[in-house]
Amino acid sequence: MSTTDIATLRGVATDRQVEAAEQPAPPTPAEAPSWSNMRAPDARSQQSAAVSVTNGRRALKVFLSNPNALFGTGFLAFVILIALIAPVIYPGDPLSMVGRPFLWPGQNPAFPLGTDSLGRDVLAGIVHGARISLFVGLVATALSLTFGVVLGAVAGYFGGRIDDLLVRLIEIFQTPPSFVLLVVLVAIARPSATTVTLAIAIISWPTVARLTRAEFRAIREKDFVVAARSLGYGHRRIIFSEILPNALPPIIVTSSVMVATAILMESALSFMGLGDPNVVSWGSMIGTGRELVRTAWYLTALPGLAIVVTVLALNLIGDGLNDALNPRFSQEG
Amino acid sequence: MPLLSVSDLKTHYKSRDGLLRAVDGVDLVVERGETVALVGESGCGKSTLGKTVLRLVDPTDGRIVFKGEDITMLDQRRLRTVRKSVQMIFQDPFASLNPRHAIGEILEAPLVVHKAGDRAERRRRVADIVAKVGLPADSVSRYPHEFSGGQRQRIGIARALLLNPELIVCDEPVSALDLSIQAQILNLLVAMKKEFGLSYLFISHDLSVVRYFADRVMVMYLGRIVESADNATLWSDPRHPYTRAMMAAVPDPSRRRHAAPLGGDLPSPSHIPPGCRFHTRCPLATNLCRTQEPEFRPVAPGHHVACHFADEPTE
Amino acid sequence: MAPLLQVENLTIRFPRAEPVRNLSFEAGEGETLAIVGESGSGKSLTALALMRLLPRGAQIASGRIAFDGRDLIKLDARGMRHLRGRDIGMIFQEPMNSLNPVMTIGRQIGEVLRVHERLTGRAARARAIELLELVRIPAAEKRVDDYPHQLSGGMRQRVMIAMAVACKPKLLIADEPTTALDVTIQAQVLDLLDTLRCELRMAVVLITHDLGVVAQWADKVVVMYAGRKVEEALPGDLFDNPLHPYTRGLLAASPRLKNDFHYRDGALSEIPGSIVSAGGETGCPFRPRCAEARASCGHHMPPLTVPAPERLVACPFTVPVEAMPHAAAFSL
C-alpha cells in the first residue's frame, strides 16, 4: 500500500461523486496545511467549552452550588460569629450565677434557654462554649495538619530510611488507645485550653501523616510525576505543586472530620472534668448537667445539640470541598 | 560524536524474588537526527532502559554519555541542564498529565523551572507550541480531562518540545491510542522531528509501527539487546530466532488460521536462564546455547546479533 | 436451519445516549465472527448485551437476540444464569481483573463445574486438571493449586479460557482476549482459541480492534463505528477491497510490517478527527470525518446495501467493487 494508491482511490471516489451530482458538504476545513497532521483534526471535533475561570474560582463555584456544603458553611459561619461576638452579647463571666436555678427554657425571657442548677445562664454558656470548642478544634487540627502533612509528604516522597523512621514513630503513637493517651497527656500537664489543644494535636497528627504518606507513595509513581522529574523540576516543586494538590482531597475530608473529632474530644475531656476549669465549654456543661438528666434534661440536650450540629456542619463542608476540588466532578458546575 | 552513547548499562532492582536484572548490559548509540527503535515484549526491560537513559532510574553499572558528557553519576542539580536536552513522551496520555493543572500551567512550568524568559515571553512560547502540535488556542485554559486521548498525547508532545530538546525518549507513545489516531500522532512526531531536528529513542512492542517509524532497530530480550540493524535490513534479513519469531507472530492474513507461535513465556528477569537467555523458548537451541552466552557480534556491516547460529541461512 | 446466534436490530440505550443502534449479525456453529471497532464503537457493550450483563443504566431498548432457538432478551434472570457459563462462555481483556486473586485457579475452575455440572471434590479437581491440559498449561497437576498472581499474563488468559469452555459452551464470546498480551503470546492464545473452536464446534464472537487478528482468524467480519454496523464481509474481501470510507481509512492508516513504507517516504494516511458519541444525532456517524461526505449524509443513516454476495455496506457513495484499484493495495 502506498499513498498514491489511496490517491487513485480517492480519485475514483470523486469521479463517482460527480456522477452522483450531489452537492458536497464541506466536511474538512478549507485551509491547505503543509503537513496533514497540522490540522489537528481530533482537536477540532471536541467542543471547546469556554472555560476561562481559574481552578480556584471554578472550585468555589461548584462548592457554592452544593446546598449541603452551603448549609454547613452557613452554620459554621454562624457559630464562628457567635463565638467572636460572645464577649459583646454576654460581657459577664458565663460561670457566674445570674438567676434562679432550674429555670426552664422560655420560662423567663431574660434567660431564653433557662438556667442550670447553680443559676448560670445556659445560653451564655453555649455562646461562650463555642469559643473554646472552635478554638480547640481549629487550632488542634491546624497543628496536626501542618505537622502530619509535612512529615507524611517527606516520608512518602523520599522513602527509604526517613520513611522507616516515620512509620516507627507513627506506630509508637498509634499503639495505645488514642483517648487514653490524650487523658494521660492532659493529666500530666495542667489542664488549660492550650494544653488540651496541644494534646489533641499530638494524638491526631499520625492519622494525617499516615494518610499523606500513603497518598504520596501512590502518586509518586504516576507518570505525570515522572514527567515532572524528566523536566528537571526540583523536589519542592514536585511535592507541593505536582503531588500535594492531587493528595489533598482525602486530606481535606479527613481534616474537616478531624475538627469535628477534636471538638468531640475536648467535650469528652471537659465532661470528665479534665478541661480547663476556668472556662465554660459544651462538654463541661454536659458534664455538670448529667446528674440532672431526668429532671432537667435540657441542661445536657442543648449543649449536646450544639455539638451535634457543629460536627455535622463540618462534615458537610468536607464533602462539599472534596467534590469542588476534584476537577473531574466539577463539569456540571 | 554520537548524541547519546550508552555502554554496558545495567539496571538491577532488589525484589522479593531476589535481584531483578531489568537491564543487564546494554550498549546503545543514537546519532543526531536518528530514530532508534527499541522493540521487545513487556518485561524485556525496554521501558526501564529508557528511564535509565533519562536518569529517572539510577543505573547499577555502566556509562551514559550525552553529547560527550558523562551523565551516569551526575547529581540532580547538574542534571537539570541535561534535562533540557533530553525529554520523554509517555505511553499513557491520561496518566502523564497532572489532572489538577490547566494545560497552560502544565506547559508553562518547565519554562518557569528553567528560568526561560519573562511571563509574557513564556506565554508566547506556550501559545506557539500549542499551535504547532495542532491544538486549538483555547486549550491552555482547559484541564486534561476535557481532552481525548489523541489530544492529550499532543499535549504530552508539546511539553516535551518546549525546552527545545535534542533527544526525545518516546515510551510506547501510540500504543494506548486508537488505530485512527495512531497515524495522526506518528505523523506529528515525524513532522516535529523534521522541524526541530530531533532524535528519537522510540520504545515500542509494535513491529508494524517500528517498521514505519525507525531508522535503526534494536531487539531486546530479557535485559539484553539480541539483534540490532538498520530498519530495512532487520526486516528483510532477521538473524536472531527471537526476531524471526516476533515477526512471525504478527497477524498476517496470508497465513489464515495458522499461527507460528513461539512456545512458552518470557522467563522472569529475576531468574534469567544461564547460557543464551533465549534458549528456553528457542526452536534452534543446542547444548552450546544452554551453557554459553553468545557474544553480540557483527554478521554484516551495521548488523549485530547475539546468537551462536546467526550465520545459518534463514529457513 | 437458523444459525446458532442471530442478533436482529439490537439497540442499547443509556439515559442520554444510544451507544449501539440497530445492530444485526449472526454466527453459526463452528464459525468465528469478528466485531471490529475502535473504543467508543459499542463493540464491548454488544458483547455484554449478549450475556445480558449490561452495566447499570444501560438497557436493551429493542431488538432480538436469538440463541439456539430462544430469545435471550425475553429470558428471565434465572434462565439467563443457567445459560451463562454453560451454553455461553465469555473471556475478557484483562485476565488479572477477572480472576479472583485469593482463590486457586483449580478452585475457580471447579466453581464453574460445581454450579453447572454439580461436580464436587475430587471429580471437579480432576476435570480442572483436564481443562488446564486442554488449554496447554504445562505441568497442569502442579499448576492447579497456583494462585492467579503466580501465573504470567498469557497463562492467566489460558485459565480464563479453561473456565469459559469448562462446560463445552455452544458460543464463546471473547472481548479483546489478546489486547493485554505480547505479540508472541497473542499468537499462542489465538491459536488455542481456534483449536478449541474446532474441537468443541463452538461459535466464537471475537471482539477486537486489531485488523490483523481479524484478517488471520475470522470467518466473517462486522465493522462497527459509533454504535452502527458500517460494513460486513468475509475477511479476504474486506482487506482486499474495503468498501466503507471508514474501513478504507483504517486500513490505509495502519502501518504494516510487510510493506516497505517508511516515514522518510511520506506521511501515513490519516482519518481526520476522532470518534464522537453518536447520541441522538441523525445521519451517518462517520460523516464529520469522512472525505466523501455530502449533504445527504446528514439526513439519515444510510441503509445497509448488498454490493456483492456476502457483503453489506452502509454507504451509498462507496466505490463500486469492479472500479477498485488492484486489491494488493490493501494487503497487509
Which of A45, B179, B139 has the alpha carbon at shortest distance from C277? A45
Residues C17 and C133 in one domain: yes
Does residue C321 carry a pLDDT above 70? no
More reliable by pLDDT, C256 or A24: C256
Residues 36-95 of A with CB under 8 A from C: 36-37, 39, 41-42, 44-46
**Residue B111 corresponds to which cell in the numbers above?**
519554562
Does residue C8 carry a pLDDT above 90? yes
Boundaries of every domain in chain A? 55-91+110-332
Does residue A39 carry a pLDDT above 70? no
Does residue B85 carry a pLDDT above 80? yes
Residues C186 and C251 in one domain: no
Residues C103 and C180 in one domain: yes
pLDDT on residue C320: 58
pLDDT on residue A43: 35
Reported confidence tier of residue A1, pLDDT bands at 50, 70, 90: very low
* Structural domains in chain C (count): 2
Q: Which residue has the cell 494535636?
A: A201
Residues C184 and C299 in one domain: no
Residues C203 and C59 in one domain: yes
Q: At what angle do helices A122-158 and A193-220 cross, to 10 degrees?
A: 30
Residues C212 and C274 in one domain: no
Cα–chain center distance at B247: 19
Residues C176 and C80 in one domain: yes
How many inter-chain contacts (A to C, CB under 8 Å) are there?
A: 90
Q: Report the share of chain B in percent with pLDDT over 70.
A: 98
Residue range(s) defining the domain that contains residue C305 = 244-256+268-330
Least confident of A98-102, B109-113, C89-93, C325-329: C325-329
pLDDT on residue C220: 94
C229 in a structural domain: no
Which partners does chain B have (≥3 C-beta pairs < 8 Å)?
A, C
Residues C218 and C252 in one domain: no
* Interchain pair A3, C323: CB under 8 A: no
Q: Average model confidence (pLDDT) for chain C?
A: 87
pLDDT on residue A93: 83
Residues C114 and C161 in one domain: yes
pLDDT on residue C281: 67
Which of A264, A96, A81, A92 has the alpha carbon at shortest distance from A179? A264
The model's pLDDT over A275-310, given as tens digits with 9 standing for 90+, comes to: 888 888 898 888 888 888 888 888 889 999 999 999
Please provide the DSSP assignment of B222-270 as one string.
TTEEEEEEEHHHHHHS--SHHHHHHHHHS--GGGTT---PPPS-PPPTT
Residue range(s) defining the domain that contains residue B194 = 4-305
Residues C209 and C320 in one domain: no
* Interchain pair B251, C271: CB under 8 A: no
pLDDT on residue C61: 92
Query: Cβ(C144)–Cβ(C105) under 8 Å?
Result: yes
C271 contacts chain B (CB < 8 A)? yes
> What's the pTM value of the predicted model, to 2 decimals?
0.81
Average pLDDT score over residue span A9-24: 38
* Structural domains in chain B (count): 1
Q: Which residues contact A265 (CB under 8 A, 6 or more apart)?
A: A179, A182, A200
Residues of C in contact with A23 (CB under 8 A): 294-295
C230 in a structural domain: no
**Residue B163 and residue C92: Cα distance in Å, rounded?**
42
Residues C193 and C274 in one domain: no
**Residue B124 corresponds to which cell in the numbers above?**
508566547
The 3-state DSSP class for residue A289 equals helix
C233 in a structural domain: no
**H helices present in C211-270, as ranges:** 211-217, 235-240, 245-253
For an interface test with A, the pick among C260, C277, C317 (most A C-beta atoms closer than 10 Å) comes out as C317
The model's pLDDT over C168-194, given as tens digits with 9 standing for 90+, comes to: 999 999 999 988 888 888 888 899 999
Which of A99, A95, A93, A94 has the alpha carbon at shortest distance from A115? A99
The 3-state DSSP class for residue A97 equals coil
Does residue C138 carry a pLDDT above 50? yes
CATH code for the domain in which residue B163 is found: 3.40.50.300
Q: Which amino acid is located at C193 in the chain?
A: L
B56 contacts chain A (CB < 8 A)? yes
C123 in a structural domain: yes
**Residue B11 and residue A139: Cα distance in Å, rounded?**
48
The model's pLDDT over B91-104, given as tens digits with 9 standing for 90+, comes to: 888 889 998 899 99
By DSSP bridging, strand B35-39 and strand B199-204 are: parallel
For an interface test with C, the pick among B193, B207, B233, B250 (most C C-beta atoms closer than 10 Å) comes out as B250
Does residue C239 carry a pLDDT above 70? yes
CATH classification (class only), A55-91+110-332:
mainly alpha
The model's pLDDT over B244-273, given as tens digits with 9 standing for 90+, comes to: 999 988 887 777 777 666 777 788 888 889
Residues C98 and C206 in one domain: yes
Query: Cβ(B260)–Cβ(B272) under 8 Å?
Result: no
Q: What share of chain A is helix, strand, coil (3-state, %, to 5)?
A: 70, 0, 25
More reliable by pLDDT, C216 or A14: C216
